Structure formats: C-alpha cells, structure tokens
C-alpha cells in the first residue's frame, strides 16, 4: 500500500467534519428505523450519500427485534457479504433480502 494522501490542515478538518456529519446522519436514520418512524427500504431509495454508504449489516441490526446473529443469518441466506454497503447490493440480493424479511414479518 502507498502512503496516505498528504492533506493540508484545512482539508483534513473538512474531511473530519464531513465524516462526523455522515456518522450522525446514519445514526439518526438507524434510530428512526428502530423507533418505527422510517422503513428499512428507505435506505435503498435514499439519495443521501451517507445512507448509501451504510453497511447492510448495520441496517438490519437497526430493525426492531434484530441483533447481530439474526442479521448475520439473513445476510448469509441472501448471499450478501458482511462488509457490503447499501449502494453495493445487487438486484438479486435485494430481491432475496426483501423476500427473507417478508418471511420474518409473518
């Protein structure tokens, strides 16, 4: 691997501020899902870059009644990698995830 990019102090501060803002946006989104104010499918329809970069595992764990084990089980059955982000989920993976979560809701 190469050396990290050389950033000026201003560039570094801007990057840190942007990262903090993204983390807050994702935390708010997940809490809204947990509280029932939003649906998990909103993550896939979102135009917000911070939401699209959220890991699918984090999204599933924010669902009421879901923990790490249940989320991992769904990911494995859907063929989605643990490190996959929302924007990187393929069409067939999305459809499988949708089907699996509908089965769980029954």
As beta bridge partners, residue 85 has 55
The per-residue pLDDT for 1 is 65
For residues 72-91, average pLDDT = 96
Q: Is the pLDDT of residue 4 over 90?
A: no
Ordered structural domains, the chain, with CATH: 9-105 (1.10.8.50)
Contacts of 62 (CB under 8 A, 6+ apart): 29, 30, 31, 33, 34, 40
Q: Which residue has the tokens 């499988």?
A: 96
The per-residue pLDDT for 2 is 78
| Average pLDDT for the chain | 93
Contacts of 76 (CB under 8 A, 6+ apart): none
Q: Is the pLDDT of residue 106 over 60?
A: no
Q: What is the pTM of this model?
A: 0.86
The per-residue pLDDT for 51 is 97
Q: Is the pLDDT of residue 105 over 90?
A: no
Question: pLDDT, tens digit, for every residue of 19-67?
Answer: 999 999 999 999 999 999 999 999 999 999 999 999 999 999 999 999 9
């Amino acid at each position: 691997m190469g050396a990290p990019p050389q950033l000026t102090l201003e560039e570094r501060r801007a990057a840190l501020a942007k990262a903090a803002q993204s983390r807050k946006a994702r935390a708010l989104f997940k809490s809204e899902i947990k509280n029932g104010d939003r649906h998990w499918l909103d993550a896939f329809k979102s135009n917000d870059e911070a939401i699209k970069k959220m890991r699918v595992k984090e999204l599933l764990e924010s669902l009421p009644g879901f923990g790490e084990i249940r989320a991992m089980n769904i990911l494995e059955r859907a063929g989605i990698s643990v490190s996959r982000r929302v924007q990187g989920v393929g069409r067939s993976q999305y459809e499988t995830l949708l089907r699996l979560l509908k089965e769980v809701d029954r």
